């Protein structure tokens, strides 16, 4: 089965490269360092190195507590962070600066992976959340590189997809040295898929510390708005902006809508959507401030969620009004902002249940219901305060995933040590 997968991947590579070049029109990062995608690196080899793969923005941010813990515990080791998306690589650069090495993850072909592993020879590989690449995991096993699936989540939908190809997926999951699941349901599904050493470690996202400078900037921005309330539409996806903005039409000028699309490549398109719907938007990327009577502020920047959450009175989480799995709601809870989600939060099911049970979040059935809840919250400062405090308490109770992950890393390193 893996042989057929490899042949199909080789056949698809020309089309993959064309798509990569096409995406580079709007995100030039995709056209940089292309040789790395085939295992050719200009980075010098390091004597002692940990490798962390964070596919995109969310995974790069989630990896930060564990990467920092490894750097503190093993100061003589370098850390290589690989990504697949340009936004993920930019985020890793913002989060880690020059303290890590950055590269693209090679395509999942035997030759590219052989070059990658022989060049870097990592002592430990860490794949964030749901990254399962059959050839990569088998190559790591052959080269004696233990791989941890960290902050692992496995929705019912993803598990069903993997079960359709057991000849490909089961050996891949079995090749993992260990998996640290976010919750018991994730752990159970991982075991059923073939993962062997699975523990429940919680979510690393509870341990993320927001950028204090961005948070302070957000509070100052909020103060400049006077008595205006702020409704944050966070991490919205294609098709959601129209539905959510249509429900915002009845909001008065005393409420500023802050709209932050999930993907950088859609910023201009979302600005056009807002203009077409009668929402003249000030854009953060241009340094514009909401003008008097302006109803919409477009958060068209990356790496600034701490800023946006610090100025919000209520947040509606995007990615959850179509079957896309939702987005991380922990940042909102940690910032003490009442959270409203749509019905499709299956990628964050355990955390959503915890937040709803703690009365830090409300899960609505559609965009209309979500904005109805949001409007009620904007009019009820006492309820907002209770929900915000509940969110902070929830996050405080569930911190500690980093230490549990670090223990597993240390065990894998000890087991892999010569002699």
| Contact call for residues 151 and 203 (beta carbons, < 8 A) | yes
What is the chain's length? 419
Q: Using an 8 Å Cβ cutoff, are 242 and 280 in contact?
A: no
CA distance 182 to 275: 40
Alpha carbon 100 to its chain centroid, in Å, reads 19
d(CA 263, CA 282): 18
Cβ neighbors of 256 (< 8 A, separation 6 or more) are 225, 228, 229, 230, 231, 290, 294, 295, 296, 297
Active site annotation includes 197:
no
Catalytic residue among 36, 59, 129, 304: 59
Buried residues in 312-331 as b, exposed as e (16+ CB within 10 A):
bbbbbbbbbbbebbbbbbbb
Who contacts 36 (Cβ-Cβ below 8 Å, separation ≥6)? Answer: 103, 104, 106
| Helices of type H across 248-365 | 267-276, 305-311, 330-334, 349-357
**Do residues 105 and 83 touch, judged by C-beta distance below 8 A?**
yes
Kindly list the catalytic residues.
59
């Amino acid at each position: 089965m893996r042989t057929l997968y490899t042949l199909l991947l080789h056949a698809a590579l020309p089309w993959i490269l064309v798509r990569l070049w096409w995406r580079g029109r709007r995100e030039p990062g995709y056209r940089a360092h292309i040789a790395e995608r085939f295992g050719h690196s200009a980075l010098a080899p390091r004597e002692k190195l940990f490798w962390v793969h964070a596919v995109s923005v969310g995974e790069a941010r989630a990896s930060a507590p564990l990467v920092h813990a490894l750097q503190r515990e093993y100061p003589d080791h370098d850390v290589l962070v690989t990504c697949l998306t340009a936004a993920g690589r930019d985020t890793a650069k913002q989060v880690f600066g020059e303290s890590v090495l950055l590269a693209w993850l090679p395509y999942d072909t035997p030759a590219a992976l052989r070059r990658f592993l022989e060049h870097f020879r990592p002592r430990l590989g860490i794949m964030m959340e749901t990254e399962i690449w059959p050839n990569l995991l088998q190559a790591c096993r052959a080269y004696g590189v233990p791989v941890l699936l960290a902050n692992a989540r496995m929705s019912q939908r993803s598990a069903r997809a993997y079960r359709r190809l057991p000849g490909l997926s089961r050996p891949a999951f079995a090749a993992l040295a260990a998996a640290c699941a976010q919750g018991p349901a994730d752990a159970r599904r991982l075991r059923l898929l073939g993962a062997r050493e699975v523990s429940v470690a919680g979510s690393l996202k509870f341990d993320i510390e927001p950028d204090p400078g961005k948070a302070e900037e957000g509070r100052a921005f909020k103060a400049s708005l006077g008595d205006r309330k702020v409704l944050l539409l966070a991490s919205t996806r294609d098709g959601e902006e129209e539905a959510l903005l249509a429900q915002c039409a009845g909001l008065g000028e005393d409420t500023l809508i802050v709209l932050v699309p999930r993907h950088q490549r859609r910023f201009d398109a979302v600005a056009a959507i807002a203009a077409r719907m009668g929402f003249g938007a000030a854009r953060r990327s241009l340094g514009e401030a909401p003008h008097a009577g302006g109803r919409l502020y477009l958060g068209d920047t990356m790496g600034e969620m701490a800023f946006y959450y610090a100025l919000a009175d209520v947040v509606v989480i995007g990615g959850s009004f179509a079957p896309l799995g939702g987005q991380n709601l922990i940042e909102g809870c940690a910032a003490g902002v009442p959270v409203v989600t749509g019905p499709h939060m299956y990628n964050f099911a355990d955390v959503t249940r915890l937040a709803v049970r703690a009365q830090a979040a409300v899960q609505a059935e559609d965009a209309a219901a979500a904005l109805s809840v949001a409007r009620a919250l904007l009019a009820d400062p006492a309820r907002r305060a209770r929900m915000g405090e509940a969110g902070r308490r929830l996050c405080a109770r569930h911190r500690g995933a980093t230490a549990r992950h670090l223990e597993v890393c240390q065990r894998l390193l000890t087991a892999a040590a010569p002699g």
